[in-house]
Amino acid sequence: MKKVTILGLYNTMATTIFGPMDILNQAGRLWNSVSKSPQTPFFDVTIASADGQPIRSVNNILIQPHCSIEQIHQTDLIIIASATYIEKILERNPELVSWIRHQYDQGAHVASICTGVFLLAETGLLDGKSATLHWGFTEMFRKRYPQVKLRQDQMYIDHGRLYCSAGVSAGMDLSLYLVEKFCGRQAAIDSAKTMVLDMGREMQTPYECFFAPKDHGDSIIVKAQEWIEQHQSETIDYEWLAQKFRMSRRSLERRFKQAVGVTPLGYLQKLRVEYAKHLLEEGTQTFNEITYQVGYEDISFFRKVFVRLTGLRPKEYQQRFKGYYSKPILQ
């Protein structure tokens, strides 16, 4: 039986503690109970906090851990719950970093869920490696850990003994993956069926939303962003746009990408795709109609742009996110 330690931290999302705990604890138990066969639990799960004191979750609920990290002498797997307030966490419990490193050096696997990757990155174990986390925290992570290669499109990543996952529900995906890795494919399938969970989600791209960053400090680029936003359904002449802000097109593209992360053209595409997603969610127009409305004439081209930025074909996106109000209610 594998020993698992779930590390709860200040202001963590409770689901990132209890979700993995339930999935791992039920592996070999719930399916066996339902199928009337002997229970064969695969994991022994312990919740730990830095000092053994209750963990205050983001919803202001206190979670009572089983023990402190000092009482964990050996563990096969550490799962780091979400850790958004990394500076406060490190200020309160700087020993967490060395404890994780020590356990890893002793042979433990280490996984992070959502913003728990901040604490994992603090150990230096991810330097030169790729990582993922919730799409809403990517810029914060990229600035703090430039030595880590961010793969924000991924639902979870496996580096052999290091793992990280995207947002809260991605912790469920990672937990099922860990069941499969440690216990085999059939055990994971059994767990997914009894916990009523999907398997095989690999990308978080469909869930991402584009929020245009404007706190980068370049006031000229902010004005350029606002102009593009106001004219996003029109044909834009980037040479003219550069002249409008008294610079060359090359300078505009360089400064724009440095400030925003994409070129003006990439920015326009993201704005148009975001608008198209909203229209698809409403479900009142065809993709052909939406294509013209957002500013494209070539439907095939825009479809390719949409798939590249969302990971889904327009129809797939609409089926996944179209409002529940449009679905028939069975009596």
Domain boundaries of the chain, sorted by first residue: 2-207, 219-324
* Tokens (6 digits) for 311: 């990971």
Query: Which of 77, 179, 171 lies closest to 117 in space, CA to CA?
Result: 171
Instruction: Please name the residues in contact with 191: beta carbons below 8 A apart, sequence gap of 6 or more.
Output: 23, 26, 27, 30, 31, 176, 179, 197
More confident residue, 30 or 100: 100
Q: Tell me the pLDDT band of 32, cut-offs 50, 70 and 90.
A: confident
Residues contacting residue 62 through CB under 8 Å, at least 6 positions apart = 54, 55, 56
Residue-wise pLDDT tens digits, 273-322: 999 999 999 988 999 999 999 999 999 999 999 999 999 999 999 988 88
What is the pLDDT averaged over residues 110-139?
96
CATH architecture of the domain with range 219-324: Orthogonal Bundle (1.10)
Kindly indicate the confidence band of residue 329, based on its pLDDT and cuts at 50, 70 and 90. very low
Q: Which fold has domain 2-207?
A: Rossmann fold (3.40.50)
106-110, 138-142, 206-210, 293-297, range with the lowest pLDDT = 206-210
Tens of pLDDT, residues 136-176: 999 899 999 999 999 989 999 999 999 999 988 999 999 99
> What average pLDDT does the segment 80-98 reach?
96
The span from the CA of 193 to the CA of 186, in Å, is 11
Mean per-residue pLDDT, 194-211: 85
Q: What is residue 80's predicted lDDT score, i.e. its pLDDT? A: 98
Residue 151 vs residues 44, 157, 201, 216, 233: alpha-carbon distances, Å: 31, 9, 15, 22, 30
The predicted structure's pLDDT at residue 327: 52
User: With 70 as the cut, is the pLDDT of residue 104 above it?
Assistant: yes
